[in-house]
Amino acid sequence: MPFISNTPQQQEQMLAEIGLTMDELFDDVPRELMAEAFDLPRGLSEQETRNRLMELAEKNATHLTCFLGGGFYDHFIPAAVHSIVSRSEFYTAYTPYQPELSQGVLQATYEYQSMICRLTEMEVANASLYDGGTALYEAMMMALRITDRNKVIVDDSVNPIYRVMIHSYTQNLKIELEQTHCEDGLTNRDQILQIIDDKTAAVIVQNPNFFGCIDEFSDIAEAAHDKGSLLIVSSYPVSLGILKTPAAMGADIVTGEGQSLGIPMSFGGPYLGFMASAKQYVRKMPGRIAGETLDMSGQKAYVLTLQTREQHIRRDKATSNICSNEALCALTALVYLSLLGTQGLRETAQLCADKAKYAYKRLTAIPGVEPHFRGKWFFNEFVLDLPYEAADVIARLIEKRFAAGFPLGRYYDGMENSILISVTEKRTKQEIGMLAEALESVL
Amino acid sequence: MKLVFEKSVPGRRAVRIAPTNVPKINIRSDLLRQKPANLPELSELDVVRHFTELSRRNFGVDNNFYPLGSCTMKYNPKVAEHIASYPGFADLHPLLPQLRMGGMLTQGALRVLHEIDLLLREITGMAEFTMQPLAGAHGELTGMMIMAAYHREQGNKKTTILIPDSAHGTNPASAAIAGYSVVSIPSNDSGVMDIEAVRQHLNDDVAGLMLTCPNTLGIFNPHVKDICDLIHSVDGLTYYDGANLNAIVGKARPGDFGFDIVHLNLHKTFATPHGGGGPGAGPVGVKKKLVPFLPVSVVIKRNDGTYALQYDRPKSIGYIAPFYGNFGVVLKAYVYILMLGKEGLCRVAENAVLNANYVKERLKGHYRLAFDRLCKHECVFTISERMAQNGIHAVDIAKALIDKGFHPPTVYFPTIVKDAMMIEPTETESKETLDSFIDAMIEIAEQAENEPEKLKTTPTTAVVCRPNETIAAKNLNIAYL
Amino acid sequence: MVIEGLLYTKDHEWARIDADVATIGITDYAQQMLGELVFVELPDIGKKFAGHDELAVVESTKAANDIYSPVAGKVIEVNGELESQPELINQDCYNAGWICKLQITDTKSVESLMDSKQYEEYLGGH
């Protein structure tokens, strides 16, 4: 039998030793609750399984040149990343409950937290959350706890996927969510300054925002702090290779999706939600945190710390119900950043921006293709207006082997002709040129 | 061991970025960071050595027996890892199916999601699953949100959730975050939720019940169906925490017990790796009347045999994850189920329960059983009176086990048993492994009764010994800056 | 150890009543049960509490416990020393380890408290 070590003889031997039959082992389950039969297929051999799954994998389109982003990006991943995180001492372990046997994961977690702090210039970070969306929701809940208020302002240039998630999560709670509307490509500060008041727990913004535009939130941070509210910034970690950090803008809590840090796209997960904050809020933070300490002989060691915030101790009064983190994804991000180093990350981020600008110039030179937001700085994504419905144009470009971008009409009324195009360092000048030719040919 | 940052040598590089021939742009300087992110500067060899050394300071199922109770540390088949790295899965952009006709670009992935849904329905007796919850606790929250949506639609004003005192902390935390208050129900002398206590706390405010069955003591509640019926009598809903499904998978189905909502931990029962603490996956299955409330999107099979995502579900609780769940994890569980098949799946619980009872019977003369009765997938011991008199606690037994080469069981949980040691061997372990673990436990028991001071300084073979948690919490150092 | 002259709650808080001001702390029994404390979350000055409201939180590495206000009152002073030295509660829970002072707003709330003798009896039953 696959994955069961004991032979039938051994099973008999063990049953004899404990004086029961296999059926008697289930005597405590009322007979009427036992299932009569399961309608399941026969088990497959490894070879059959691999053939079947290879066939399914080939039904997925990975031949497309990817200009699709929207918060989830096709970055280059060095081979050493996979090689390291495939070490089974990491991936077949569980939560580091026994620090003596988990110094590897614990030190890696501490290093990961340090790495997130260095990237964002924040003071503290947790061991990670499920993804960028749940991290943003958790940040919002954290702000509610810190301020003891119940109003939250979100600009609609924050990833719409995250906004709909926050909407779902707050359905049963007494939280007043107010949305401001981005008009010119930047967060709508006029509207935010108008509605922010002393009931506001937090203002949620994103940089670069969903449209790819680069913003600077110092003014919003100041206004928020004046009212005793917090500024929550959702950020794109690769962009922090060159862009101003959330800390430098006055952010109180920073979250983001870490997928771009060496984690494959894998059709939506597993991903990595990161969270960092000012040190004074660390006890209100959700999720695991690794900390440095000393062991019995006085040597440096790492443990999970501040656990009294967590569900296994605080139960219904915990800062969150989360009981794991995305440890292996956090390790992946740590390895990726260790391999890239200061210069590598800076160059990667710069290349994203350079190639995006190049693509922007090539594409806006096509008759009928116009920039949607003019005169705005963008990082590696930008919005173009097409003469026809963007969804339609994108469908035609798929036939030419391009995933050319995302149709914004899906989430924004009135943007049916707008396409969000993403360019990572992985795209070549040649690919960008070919996209421009293909786009021109279908218009 | 030095931190990766302490090994940094200015100017050293691991990754060379491909040269490009597009012009460099100069973003406005007030939008740029003042100084570069201070990351380590290392060669590829430095990085590989650093993390290889870290991995040697870690312990996984592949190292040796890992009987961590309630966590189901079974063997994680290598073929699942292999398949998850196929480019057709790993390199698939999650937004593709949201493009026009984009579903046709991801037929393989959508089929995986649909077929595992069908398999899990059959395994649990539920009507439909969502693969979206990203972990067990996330599944609990999703379940609670479905419960709240149901009551809202029914016009019910219900405020409380009943949860046994032996439950995982995630249960009360999830209920609280969904906006409910929690009523803790004590366990009775047999270690299970007392049906009389449920009756006493039953009233119109009760929105539902969360139950793990068998519970964290490894005990199956014989009144589980009656308890579900009671909750239903006040239009409450019943939630099955599938953390311990491994004990009954292939033998009995929570849907048949009367549960309305279940979550499964794919990283437990369905053998996906725990990753050092995640990623997991916590699919949620519901009975027919709750299907309309499942999160969007939903994968459907169309009449022409193709698969598509459906978003038009007006009663849905909405989006709880960015896409379709932790697809990479779900895929591995799918592979596992395909390989086990009907005959294999029915052997899982049998062998998990056999192994647990074998350990229980062989150790019961040496440690005190919290409940001396037939157990399911795990058994809970506590220290003997003599050990207690010697000042020995569960932690000492755990640390001594490390020196014998084993991962300790879960200790101090469930909290209702003092000095609890919760042992879950899983079905994948062999008799030889169990025997060597049992021998080690017996040796430690003898030491605990006769030379207790020796246990107090264990482990002596690990890279560190009993790190001080008080220092960590008081002199908080959680980042190297 | 129970001190005469103080009033006690079933949740193991003590109150020292001096005219209309109550000084609040946790008892020796409570600090022993919690073990070495690593953090105390103090209430904000000026905040009002009814009797048995959650007033403060004390944490060891293994537990976090709510401290309930023994009486109804407004916070007029907190023991800021505890922020850097939570262990003061372990060392001297009835004096240096006091948590906060409340201006009593409802004198009736004092009446339900136990005196040292009653509290000792209550502990005996534990």
Name the residue among B199, B201, B225, B190 with its Cα closest to residue B211: B225
Positive or negative: CA dihedral A412, A415, A416, A421: negative
Q: Cβ contact (<8 Å) for C86 and B469? A: no
Report the DSSP beta bridge partners of residue B286: B128, B261
Could you report the predicted ipTM of this complex, rounded to two decimals?
A: 0.98
What is the pLDDT, as a whole number, of residue A323?
83
Cα of A144 to nearest chain B Cα, Å: 13
B39 reaches A (C-beta below 8 A): yes
Write out pLDDT tens, residues B231-242: 999 999 999 999
Residue B107 has phi, psi (to 5 degrees) of -60, -35
CATH number at residue B286: 3.40.640.10
- Verify that B295 and B195 share a domain, yes or no: yes
Omega cis (within 30) before B414: yes
Write out pLDDT tens, residues B374-398: 999 999 999 999 999 999 999 999 9
Position B289 in a domain: yes
C7-108: CATH topology is: OB fold (Dihydrolipoamide Acetyltransferase, E2P) (2.40.50)
Cα of B420 to nearest chain C Cα, Å: 15
B neighbour chains, 3+ CB pairs within 8 Å: A, C
CATH number at residue B446: 3.90.1150.10
- Verify that B366 and B265 share a domain, yes or no: no
Residue C126 has pLDDT above 70, yes or no: no
Q: How far is it, in rounded angstroms, from Cα C99 to Cα A14?
A: 58
First to last CA, chain A: 58
Q: In whole angstroms, how far apart are CA B162 and each of A318, B236, B477?
A: 18, 10, 39
Domain end among B304, B339, B374: B339
- Verify that B19 and B105 share a domain, yes or no: no
Q: Cβ contact (<8 Å) for C64 and A314? A: yes
Whether residue B458 contacts residue A95, with contact meaning beta carbons closer than 8 Å, is answered with no
A neighbour chains, 3+ CB pairs within 8 Å: B, C
A102 reaches B (C-beta below 8 A): yes
Which residues in chain B touch residue A65, judged by CB atoms under 8 angstroms apart?
A: none
3-state secondary structure string, B83-127?
Answer: HHCCHHHHCCCCCHHHCCCHHHHEHHHHHHHHHHHHHHHHHHCCC
- Verify that B51 and B101 share a domain, yes or no: no
Residue A425 has pLDDT above 70, yes or no: yes
Write out pLDDT tens, residues B239-281: 999 999 999 999 999 999 999 999 999 999 999 999 999 999 9
Q: What are the extents of the domains in chain C?
A: 7-108
What is the pLDDT, as a whole number, of residue A288?
95
Q: Which residue of B has its CA nearest to C37?
A: B470
Cα of B182 to nearest chain C Cα, Å: 17
Write out pLDDT tens, residues C54-101: 999 998 887 888 999 999 999 999 999 999 999 999 999 999 999 999
Average pLDDT over residues A352-364: 98
Q: What is the mean pLDDT of chain A?
A: 96
- Verify that B35 and B169 share a domain, yes or no: no
Instruction: Report residue B203 CA to chain centroid gap.
Output: 32
Which residues in chain B touch residue A115, judged by CB atoms under 8 angstroms apart?
A: 39
Which residues in chain B touch residue A341, judged by CB atoms under 8 angstroms apart?
A: 8, 12-15, 39-42
Which residues in chain C touch residue B470, judged by CB atoms under 8 angstroms apart?
A: 36, 38, 60-61
Pairing relationship of beta strands B284-286 and B237-242 according to DSSP bridges: unpaired
Domain end among B339, B366, B397: B339
C91 reaches A (C-beta below 8 A): no
Which residues in chain C touch residue A317, judged by CB atoms under 8 angstroms apart?
A: 64, 66
Q: What are the extents of the domains in chain A?
A: 8-57, 65-76+343-442, 79-334
Q: How far is it, in rounded angstroms, from Cα C1 to Cα A31?
A: 56
- Verify that B31 and B115 share a domain, yes or no: no
Average pLDDT over residues B22-46: 96
Indicate the angle between helix axes A160-169 and A132-147, nearest 10 degrees. 50
A65-76+343-442: which CATH architecture? Alpha-Beta Complex (3.90)
Write out pLDDT tens, residues B449-481: 999 999 999 999 999 999 999 999 999 999 999
Whether residue A42 contacts residue B345, with contact meaning beta carbons closer than 8 Å, is answered with no
Chain A / chain C CB contacts < 8 angstroms: 19
- Verify that B295 and B201 share a domain, yes or no: yes
Position B476 in a domain: no
Hey, what's the torsion of the CAs at A160, A166, A167, A171, to 10 degrees? 170
Which residues in chain C touch residue B393, judged by CB atoms under 8 angstroms apart?
A: none
Cα of B348 to nearest chain C Cα, Å: 35
Q: How far is it, in rounded angstroms, from Cα C20 to Cα C106?
A: 9
Write out pLDDT tens, residues A244-269: 999 999 999 999 999 999 999 999 99
Residue B442: which domain range? 349-469
Alpha-carbon radius of gyration of chain A: 25
A1 three-state secondary structure: coil
Residue A106 has pLDDT above 70, yes or no: yes
- Verify that B262 and B225 share a domain, yes or no: yes
Question: How many structural domains is chain B composed of?
Answer: 3
What is the pLDDT, as a whole number, of residue A311?
83
Specify the CATH number for A79-334; select among 3.65.10.10, 3.20.20.70, 3.30.499.10, 3.40.640.10.
Answer: 3.40.640.10
Residue A26 has pLDDT above 70, yes or no: yes
Q: Which residue of C has its CA nearest to B470?
A: C61
- Verify that B386 and B432 share a domain, yes or no: yes
Name the residue among B73, B143, C29, A293 with its Cα closest to residue A307: A293
Interface test with C, best of A308, A309, A310, A317 (most C CBs within 10 A): A308
Q: Cβ contact (<8 Å) for B172 and A38? A: no
What is the pLDDT, as a whole number, of residue C108?
86
- Verify that B314 and B401 share a domain, yes or no: no
Query: A353: Cβ–Cβ under 8 A, 6 or more apart, which residues?
Result: A242, A378, A379, A380, B25, B27
Name the residue among A45, A67, A57, A32 with its Cα closest to residue A400: A67
Write out pLDDT tens, residues B107-157: 999 999 999 999 999 999 999 999 999 999 999 999 999 999 999 999 999
Lowest mean pLDDT among A55-69, B167-181, C54-68: C54-68
Write out pLDDT tens, residues A196-250: 999 999 999 999 999 999 999 999 999 999 999 999 999 999 999 999 999 999 9
Which residues in chain A touch residue C63, judged by CB atoms under 8 angstroms apart?
A: 308, 313
